[in-house]
Amino acid sequence: DTGVSQNPRHKITKRGQNVTFRCDPISEHNRLYWYRQTLGQGPEFLTYFQNEAQLEKSRLLSDRFSAERPKGSFSTLEIQRTEQGDSAMYLCASSRRTSGGGLEETQYFGPGTRLLVL
Amino acid sequence: AQTVTQSQPEMSVQEAETVTLSCTYDTSENNYYLFWYKQPPSRQMILVIRQEAYKQQNATENRFSVNFQKAAKSFSLKISDSQLGDTAMYFCAFMKLYDKVIFGPGTSLSVIP
């Protein structure tokens, strides 16, 4: 179990550019979540997948944001035409959805990708 | 909608002492989970302790324990024998079954040597 990994760890971009982040979940986890965390705040939910299906999107996820999980393994989060307000830490988490629920549903977080839009 | 409140933005504790972080939440759900996550400066979010709402017994993990009061919708974290490595942001979090996690605003804990 190597944990959740995210790449890149840091990204600096200019306003108007597109950026893409990648998340690799824990191998047996079928659920994958994206959160955004601004400085000094708790993470806020963006979207989540069960296998390859995107089941929920937050209102925070504007049209400039798109997430995919094409084969039910890794996921990408793309931000088009970045704005300075997009500067934040983008966190990925994964969990294992079971029929009985329980604490196996606990989400484990990656190290995050810190985005700075100049 | 569920909300999580942490009323203590910052706290400090002397090394080896005990500190309690407060958390309250609001929900109409009966089955849910509660978590405390720790985020050290510039480091990864780590799970500290978790509690299932249907269990009356309070969860404990080594020096960490919770006081779960379901009727009062309160979920406090007690850290015993505080260590310098406990310095971090602590987030209280709520999750209903099969759903996303909702985080509180966090409490910044400093352990003073």
DSSP letter for each residue of A31-64 = EEEEEEE-TTS--EEEEEEETTEEEEE-TTS-TT
Check CB contact under 8 Å for A40 and B106. Answer: yes
Q: A50, exposed or middle or buried, with CB in 10 Å at 0-12, 13-18, 19+? A: middle
Residue of B52, B98, B103 with shortest CB distance to A43: B103
% of residues, chain A, pLDDT over 70: 92
Rg of chain B over Cα atoms, rounded to whole angstroms, equals 13
b/e code A56-74 from CB counts within 10 Å (16+ = b): eebeebeeebebebeeeeb
Average pLDDT over residues B19-46: 93
B64 to chain A, any CB pair closer than 8 A? The answer is: no
Q: Which residue has the tokens 């310098």?
A: B84
For A104, the 3-state DSSP assignment is helix
Residue of A41, A44, A106 with shortest CB distance to B47: A106
d(CA B1, CA B5): 13
For B84, the 3-state DSSP assignment is helix
Cβ atoms A89, A36 nearer than 8 A = yes
pLDDT in tens, A41-60: 999 999 999 999 999 999 88
Residue B61: CA atoms inside 13 Å, Cβ hemisphere, count? 10
pLDDT in tens, A86-103: 999 999 999 887 665 555
Query: What pLDDT does residue B97 have?
Result: 80
Residue of B44, B52, B106 with shortest CB distance to A109: B44
Nearest chain B Cα distance for residue A58, angstroms: 11
d(CA B52, CA B109): 25
Average pLDDT, chain A: 91
Query: What DSSP string runs through B23-88?
Result: -EEE-S-SSEEEEEEEE-TTS--EEEEEEETT--SPPEETTEEEEEETTTTEEEEEE-S--GGG-E
Chain B residues touching residue A112 (CB < 8 angstroms): 44-45
Output A60 or B27, whichever has higher pLDDT: B27
d(CA A38, CA A36): 7
Rg of chain A over Cα atoms, rounded to whole angstroms, equals 14
Cβ atoms B20, B76 nearer than 8 A = yes
pLDDT grade for B27, boundaries at 50, 70 and 90: very high
